[in-house]
Amino acid sequence: MTDTLFHTHDEMQNIINKFERLTDITVALTSEHDTTELLEKILFGAISLTNADGGTIYKVFPNDSIRIEIIYSNSLNMRFSDSRKHADAQPHIPLFTQEGELNLNNVVSYAYHHDKTLNIANAYDTKDFDFQGTKIFDAQNHYRSISFLTIPLKNHEHETVAMLQLINAMDRKTGQVIPFDAVAQRFCESLASQAATVLTKQQLIITLEQMFESMISLIAQALDAKSPYNGGHCHRVPELTLMIAEAAHNTSEGYLKEFTLSEADRYELKIAALLHDCGKITTPEYIVDKARKLETICDRIALVQTRFEVLKRDAHIALLQQENQALKQGRTVADEDIANTLKTIVEQLNEDLAFLEMCNTGGEFMSPDKIAHLSRLRQKTWQLKGQSYPLLSDDEFDNLRISRGTLNDHERKVINNHISVTIAMLNQIQWPKHLKNVTTYAGGHHERIDGKGYPNGLTREEMPIQARAMALADVFEALTASDRPYKSGKKLSEALLILQKMREEGHIDPDLHDAFIKHNVHKKYAQAFLSCEQIDI
């Protein structure tokens, strides 16, 4: 009677220990965010509950096969760190035969199709399943796979997402291989149920993150596609931003020596960079695509050219009328004189039109002399149905006198407003903790370290390094981009000279600029995104 009580007490203590261990494993599983680490904890947790010598976790591909994800064996010293090599060497287990019937020869596929746990005491004694592959493995590794415990891992929809298989339960006292007992099986089934829930949750999170990132990439692609002149901008800026941030991360001295990036930090910055121009979705295309100063829906220089043709026609008509009047008065006018006069007028008109066409481009700096010339032309008139009109309207004059680029003050405000729209849009999103800085990073890429940027006039101390890195990336990308409507991409040497000047003027962060140069970010970016003609250093 005493022996029976003692035996019962041992069994109860064993159950209590397993229950405590199961609780610890479950807690560990719920706190794990890495899928590979999660699978490892599931496998090692099951091994500890059953005192198995090893085990395998399979991933299920419905309508196809079951594939090894993790292998572990204590006796064979097959550790998780090198299990991928062993897993890749193993053949996949088909779920169906070549004839399309259920594959019921393999233990794992049988357990999958019948949705049940299989507890096999001795693989060498059973004839119900094909263990030929196992026996070949044993012979090659001087091992003997005897007892097997195979359990499906089912998600909340009762779909089997993975398979857990344990090999060779070991007697804790003698070290001999024994069958998996009923208690160990029940605890493993409980673990499998909870593990499947955590695994499904993890996969759901991964799927949602992938969908989220795909949607963000879609927005970036849509913005690039919106304008044929900015195609690729929303792709290049994130790449360059991360290059610059990585250079800062690798700087071991000076201001940036304490700056570090985790993988989570890199992901957050990537998302922010992809969304940095999302506000441009509200910017009219005629402003984004404005290639010439007079361009709106169309380039209005064509209207100016038409007026000059009218002036040429009117000059010709006026000379012919003068000749006709002279003939009526008995006077003669030499055809050569008329031709020379008309030639002089046309040449001057062509010269004036060429000047206006030059003014219409965005790459020419408008000096005071040119603006004065433009003002003189503004005073000229042309005739339509007897009505006199100025050669240039007020709006045309204001646009043609734009000092740099193609945008007037109003249009500049509209396009600059995209950053305010970006911030407003991003502020509407309930960002998770690991993405809480996305708005700050994306919303700061037009700020300057001297406080003269927009929209908030932030100084260097008020801007995180990530936002400053994005600001530098946006500037360098714009300098070297060859798809802008108003300019060609600058050569690398030219861009670096301008960047150096911007550093000295307090436009960009000096320490990030220095890291940019020291770590050859400009060369890496050039090799990836610039044409051969632009790479001159």
Q: What is the pLDDT of residues 362-391, one digit of tens each?
A: 765 788 899 999 999 999 999 998 899 999
pLDDT attached to residue 102: 93
pLDDT attached to residue 462: 96
Tell me the C-alpha distance between 400 and 356, whole Å. Answer: 8
Question: Does 119 share its domain with 52?
Answer: yes
pLDDT attached to residue 344: 93
Question: Does 346 share its domain with 233?
Answer: no
432 phi and psi angles, rounded to 5 deg: -70, 165
Cross-strand partners of 381: 390
Q: Specify the 3-state DSSP secondary structure of 334.
A: coil
pLDDT attached to residue 525: 96
Question: Does 151 share its domain with 257?
Answer: no
pLDDT attached to residue 289: 76
pLDDT attached to residue 205: 77
pTM over 0.85: no
Question: Does 375 share its domain with 457?
Answer: no
Q: Please enumerate in sequence order all residues whose Cβ is within 8 A of that of 370, keeping only pairs 6 or more positions apart, or say none.
A: 355, 359
The tokens of 504 are what?
């000295």
Give the end of a domain, one of 361, 396, 431: 396
Question: Does 368 share its domain with 342?
Answer: yes
519 phi and psi angles, rounded to 5 deg: -95, 15
391 found inside a domain: yes
The tokens of 83 are what?
């299990």
Residues of the chain predicted below pLDDT 50 = 1-6, 83
Give the end of a domain, one of 205, 239, 272: 205
Question: Does 440 share its domain with 474?
Answer: yes
- Helix (H) / strand (E) containing 170: strand 160-170
Q: Please enumerate in sequence order all residues whose Cβ is within 8 A of that of 282, keeping only pairs 6 or more positions apart, or say none.
A: 418, 421
Question: Does 165 share its domain with 185?
Answer: yes
pLDDT attached to residue 176: 95
Question: Does 52 share its domain with 110?
Answer: yes
Question: Does 514 share its domain with 478?
Answer: yes
pLDDT attached to residue 403: 86
Question: Does 440 share its domain with 348?
Answer: no
**Residue 414 maps to which CATH number?**
1.10.3210.10
Tell me the C-alpha distance between 495 and 490, whole Å. Answer: 6
pLDDT attached to residue 229: 61
The tokens of 259 are what?
């700056």
293 phi and psi angles, rounded to 5 deg: -65, -30
When divided into structural domains, the chain yields a total of 3
Residue 118 sits in which domain range?
Answer: 2-205
181 phi and psi angles, rounded to 5 deg: -80, 170
Tell me the C-alpha distance between 7 and 10, whole Å. Answer: 5
**Residue 148 maps to which CATH number?**
3.30.450.40
